[in-house]
Amino acid sequence: MRIPCSGRSAEPTDGPSVKLFRNDREARFLERPNRFLITAEAENAGGGMLKIPCHCPNPGRLIEFFGYRGSDIPGAALILEERESGARAKTRWTAAGLYYRNAVVPLFSARANRAAEKLILPAIIPGVRSIRSEFTLENSRFDFLCVDRRETRHLVEVKACSLVEHGVAMFPDAPSERALKHLEELAALSSQPRQSRGGYVCHLIFVIVHGEPKCFIPNLHTDPDFAGALGIYGRAADPSPKKQTPGENQGGPVLVHACLLRCDSTGTAYLARPRIPVDLGHGKLAARDSGSYLLLLEIPQAQNIETGALGTLRFESGWYVYAGSALKNLSKRIARHLRRVRKKQHWHIDYLGPHAAQIRAYPVCSYRSLECELAQALEKLGGRGIPRFGSSDCRCKSHLFYFPDPPLRNPAFIELLLRFRHVTAFEK
């Protein structure tokens, strides 16, 4: 099955390349039942449609491609690789890549190491003469140990980055205790004197696999712990060109790199840009736990609900999206909203929570309150505002908006969230 899609080939190059996957079949994404399983659809030999279970080699959320799991948005064009005969696996096929915005996105996050070894390490470590993969040191294992011509030893960890929106690449797209552990281990090892046998130069490489990134920023919206730690322990090997605060991000012991791969529909990748600017200047924002949020509530049946000063209001069945902010203790505010019982009813939204079949929260760490801008964006998206709900202290008509259909199944809602996270959040 050949799916009509632009962007089948990477830009031509005469330089070195690496094979990341095979294109054995193409299909359309239907749903993602769990992190490691995708259901796809393709034509069978008789001309009908066949559902194909596929292994998903990237455990991230991948919301920009598939939507949120449980509220999947079908339609993404997938590239499938057939498992080798005799391989022990529950599925015959692997979702090796996909087509997105005129580009091919490889989904094999673990195979970023293959590209790093062949294409990236020689570009970022001058004079490297040996590269050893899967290097074990005490109770830890690192992706690479490299030795340069001066006998300096380099420890390297590699992370694949597929979240690239509005010119900003971010990692991770879901909380990653493993990434934080690796960063802390690198920081501890890099602080040892290099003259000693235990001394290392430590590197963290983010391999961006598609898009046109202008810079890389750690994802403080989905993993503020990692973003804050990277702001402390990291030092941008290629800093963002924007003006930095004197002394900021100058002393971190771990060198942080970002680079860009391009891949074609055959699975062949090359190094398009060995140096993408790295911006670690938002670590204090991540630690400050400040920002705004969207709260999604499903009301399963129409009912009258008492809402404090607003009196009793009629709520139709469907979805309600609330825009709020907390310039202090954002995570605690969100946790409070998600807790439906044993709390004093203080805000309008507190009265609605106990009647919701489900509640989901989406934080946007930011330097200033964005709740009014979020409310305006929700109204433009087609949401019907509940008059004066949550907006008694501003000029907005409402901060709560009704949608008859699940917003998470609307690509425009996903785009709204990504725009605020990748652009608006960093405006001061």
**68-88 mean pLDDT:** 88
Please report the pLDDT score of residue 247 as a whole number: 43
Q: Which CATH number fits the domain that encloses residue 40?
A: 2.40.50.580
Is residue 377 included in any domain, yes or no?
yes
Q: Is 128 a residue whose pLDDT tops 90?
A: yes
In sign, the C-alpha dihedral spanning 100, 33, 359, 380 is positive
Same domain for 131 and 246 = yes
Q: What is the mean pLDDT of residues 88-117?
A: 92
The closest of 290, 329, 246 to 426, measured between CA atoms, is 290
Q: Do residue 328 and residue 278 come from a single domain?
A: no
Within a 10 A sphere around the Cβ of 333, how many other Cβ atoms? 21
pLDDT confidence of residue 90 = 82
State the pLDDT at residue 368: 94
Examine the pLDDT at 6 and tell me if it is beyond 80. Answer: no
Provide, rounded to the nearest whole percent, the portion of the chain with pLDDT above 90: 79
* 37-43 vs 49-55, strand pairing mode: antiparallel
Q: Do the bridges between strand 254-263 and strand 71-72 make them parallel or antiparallel, or are there none, so unpaired?
A: unpaired
Residues 167 and 223 occupy one common structural domain? yes
| 409 domain residue, yes or no | yes
DSSP assignment letter at 389 = T
Q: Same structural domain for residues 370 and 230? A: no
The residue type of 131 is I
Examine the domain organization and report whether 120 and 142 are in the same domain: yes
Residue type, position 306, single letter: E
Task: Please count the other Cβ atoms lying within 10 Å of the Cβ belonging to residue 154.
Answer: 21
> Does some domain include residue 10?
no
Cα separations in angstroms, 422 against 168, 246, 332: 6, 24, 23
Question: Is residue 2 assigned to a domain?
Answer: no
Taken as a whole, the chain contains a residue count of: 428
Instruction: Examine the domain organization and report whether 213 and 360 are in the same domain.
Output: no
Distance CA 360, CA 375 (A): 17
Q: Is the pLDDT of residue 371 over 70?
A: yes
137 forms beta bridges with: 140
Is there a domain that residue 83 lies in? yes
Q: What's residue 246's pLDDT?
A: 43
Domain end residue (candidates: 82, 101, 120): 101
Same domain for 114 and 260, yes or no, is yes
Residue ending a domain, among 242, 261, 284, is 284
Q: Domain check: are 396 and 299 in the same one? A: yes
Residues 297 and 328 in one domain: yes
Picking from 234, 260, 284, the residue at the C-terminal end of a domain is 284
Strand pairing partners for 216?
A: 169, 278
The predicted-structure confidence for 285-337, as pLDDT tens digits, reads as follows: 988 999 999 999 999 999 999 998 899 999 999 999 999 999 899 999 999 99
Residue 340: the pLDDT is 72
Q: Is residue 86 over pLDDT 60?
A: no
CATH number at residue 183: 3.40.1350.60
* pLDDT confidence of residue 413: 98
Mean pLDDT of 411-424: 97
Query: Out of 87-96, 114-123, 147-156, 222-231, which region has the weakest mean confidence (pLDDT)?
Result: 87-96
Answer yes or no: is pLDDT of 153 > 80: yes
Domain count, the chain: 3
DSSP three-state, residue 77:
strand
Over 50: is that where the pLDDT of 264 sits?
Answer: yes
Residue 15 counted as domain residue: no
pLDDT over 60 (residue 33): yes
Work out the pLDDT band at 132, boundaries 50, 70, 90. Answer: very high
279 inside domain: yes
Q: Phi and psi (nearest 5°) for 402?
A: -95, 135
Domain that includes residue 186, residue range: 110-284
Mean pLDDT of the chain: 90
Q: Are residues 78 and 147 in the same domain?
A: no
What is the distance between the alpha carbons of residues 119 and 223, in angstroms, rounded to a whole number?
A: 29
pLDDT of residue 190: 84
Judge if 418 and 303 occupy the same domain.
Answer: yes
Q: Is the pLDDT assigned to residue 12 strictly greater than 70?
A: no
The verdict on residue 14 lying in a domain is no
**Do 213 and 97 share a structural domain?**
no
